Amino acid sequence: MDPHEITRCRCEWSTARSPSPPALGGALALNRLATTLRSWRRYPAPELIRLYHQRWEIETAYLELKSTLLGGRVLRARTPAGVAQEVYAPLTCYQVLRIAITDAIEAAGDIDPGRGSFTVALNAARDLLTQAANVIVGTVIDLTGAIGRRVLGTFCPTGACASAPGS
């Protein structure tokens, strides 16, 4: 058997395509996964599905970094120190925004963390920086903050932020 031959694996699952569950009129999407992994005992379908979702969460994070934070720009530095600075700066911004989203959602309570929009948080941070708004606030520490309040005001449909570019 050719090592590059794709063995058909019947791995199907349904996911909600709208915020409401199918029982309330929401739509379902049928997903299929093709793989070269031949042993269903060694690679059970539920584990492949879980890994597939994890992969797309990572892909979405890379997309957020590349297209949203970097705006499609390429690295310009010509020294190792310059490259490190150009790489760590967007990673730091990304982490700060993800912390702001997480803090806001945890403070709000029973909300799926995947519904917090990265794009909303990024635009809120850009607005605050360009307006110099809320740069120095009183001594009260507000974990939700202005970015978090904007994220909480604009949720993605269930599961949409994890799979939709630009969310």
| Segments in the chain forming alpha helices (H) | 45-63, 80-108, 118-131, 145-153
How confident is the model over 59-84, as a mean pLDDT?
Answer: 80
Task: Determine, yes or no, domain membership for 134.
Answer: yes
SS3 155: strand
Q: Tell me, what's the pLDDT at 167?
A: 45
Task: Determine, yes or no, domain membership for 62.
Answer: yes
CA–CA gap between residue 128 and residue 45 (Å, rounded): 46
Comparing 7-11, 51-55, 88-92, 127-131, the range with the smallest average pLDDT is 7-11
pLDDT (tens digit per residue) in 86-129: 888 888 988 999 898 888 888 888 887 777 888 889 889 888 88
The answer to whether residues 116 and 69 touch, using CB atoms and an 8 Å cutoff, is: no
Instruction: Give how many domains the chain has, as a whole number.
Output: 1
Looking at the whole model, is its pTM more than 0.75?
A: no
Task: Determine, yes or no, domain membership for 110.
Answer: yes
